[in-house]
Amino acid sequence: MTVAPVPASVSGFDQLVAHVAQALKEIRQVADRIISTCTAWLAPLGPLAGALRKDLAEFAAQIDRVLDAVGKMISDPGRPVTLWQAGQAWLEQVTPQAGNLVGTLTAAYMEADDAWQGPAATAYLNTLPAQKDAAAALHEVTGKVGITLQETALTIAAFWLGLLAAVVGLLAQLVGAAAAAATGVGAPPAAVVALTATARFLTMLAAMTAAAMAALREISGNQSTLVMALTDNAAFPGPPAGNWPVSTTGRMSDGSMSDGDASDWRLAY
């Protein structure tokens, strides 16, 4: 099987998280500068100071929410590289083996009936269809397991790509607000811009998180379906039910060739 290339968002995931962390650090610094600069203009602004003071307090609270929410994500970002590699291992190592079984568990491939005949030999061949069905079920499920693992990796990486774009966008807006605040007269509108940008970011972050969680729940549901397929007794009749169909039945329990009962194995020629 051809090895699928690891997507850049997955292979470069650690750098992606590092970029988010750096942008978050700069957001903290710029936010502090906005608050410090605007606070210095409170007295000269006279009657405008009340509204500015309120906006700065709300802005400070929202920045704390941003730093707390994104900081927690950075502390436990997920491991899409590991998930991708695990999925590739299923696709390259497990699925092909199960597929090989499907092709070999047939009367045409097996040689037992070429050399032997009798009830025991017939009973042996009769176990092949159940084993072929079980192998086919394994082949289908193992392939889907690999795919869902890689889908999980891509979902996590896509979330972080979106998060990086969002924090970089917020940083750019705050840098502009900081420059405006330094003019003095621009302090009140700068505080409004900073407050609006931060509120918009928090709304975007909530939407992004909800979308990512919905996608992961769907993948988890698919994985639960795969688990149910693996325990489907129709494909794994045992005995006992739920286990791989056995090749030894009561009709094959007597392997002798000379005791004269009806289950004797006999040469086919």
Query: Omega of the bond prior to 240 within 30 degrees of 0, cis?
Result: yes
What 8-state DSSP symbol labels residue 78? Answer: -
pLDDT in tens, 171-181: 999 999 999 99
What are the beta bridge partners of residue 243? Answer: 237
Lookup: tokens for 71: 């900081």
User: Considering the domain boundaries, does residue 258 fall inside one?
Assistant: no
User: Considering the domain boundaries, does residue 163 fall inside one?
Assistant: yes
- At 223, the pLDDT band (50, 70, 90 cuts) reads confident
- Under 8 Å CB-to-CB from 109, ≥6 apart: which residues? 103
Contact (CB, 8 A) for 136 and 185: no
What is the rounded CA–CA span in Å between residue 237 and residue 232? 8
Who has greater pLDDT, 219 or 157?
157
In which residue are the tokens 């996590």 written? 156
What is the rounded CA–CA span in Å between residue 142 and residue 96? 9
Q: What is the structure's pLDDT at 48?
A: 72
Nearest to 197 by CA among 168, 174, 180, 163: 174
Q: Which amino acid is at 26?
A: E
Burial of 147 (0-12, 13-18, 19+ CB in 10 A): middle
User: Considering the domain boundaries, does residue 2 fall inside one?
Assistant: no
Q: Which amino acid is at 212?
A: A
User: Considering the domain boundaries, does residue 121 fall inside one?
Assistant: yes
Who has greater pLDDT, 108 or 11?
11
Who has greater pLDDT, 157 or 119?
157
Contact (CB, 8 A) for 110 and 128: yes
- Lowest pLDDT segment from 81-95, 134-148, 220-234, 237-251: 237-251
Q: What is the mean pLDDT of residues 209-238?
A: 77
Nearest to 181 by CA among 198, 194, 196: 194
Nearest to 81 by CA among 162, 160, 157, 164: 157
Coil, helix or strand at residue 268: coil
Who has greater pLDDT, 112 or 46?
46
User: Considering the domain boundaries, does residue 130 fall inside one?
Assistant: yes
User: Considering the domain boundaries, does residue 266 fall inside one?
Assistant: no
Domain extent, residue 214, equals 9-251
- At 13, the pLDDT band (50, 70, 90 cuts) reads very high
User: Considering the domain boundaries, does residue 267 fall inside one?
Assistant: no
Q: What is the structure's pLDDT at 192?
A: 95
pLDDT winner (highest mean) among 69-73, 86-90, 103-107: 69-73
What is the rounded CA–CA span in Å between residue 160 and residue 166? 10
Q: What is the structure's pLDDT at 143?
A: 73
Q: What is the mean pLDDT of residues 160-174?
A: 97
- Lowest pLDDT segment from 60-74, 190-204, 252-266: 252-266
What integer best gives the mean pLDDT of the chain?
80
Q: Helices marked H in the chain — which ranges?
A: 8-11, 13-40, 42-45, 49-75, 80-89, 95-104, 112-115, 119-126, 128-181, 187-230
Contact (CB, 8 A) for 11 and 81: yes
Lookup: tokens for 142: 């193992």
Burial of 176 (0-12, 13-18, 19+ CB in 10 A): middle
What are the beta bridge partners of residue 267? Answer: 116
User: Considering the domain boundaries, does residue 193 fall inside one?
Assistant: yes
Domain count, the chain: 1
Q: What is the dihedral of CA 247, 250, 252, 258, to 10 degrees?
A: 170
What 8-state DSSP symbol labels residue 246? Answer: P
- Under 8 Å CB-to-CB from 182, ≥6 apart: which residues? 37
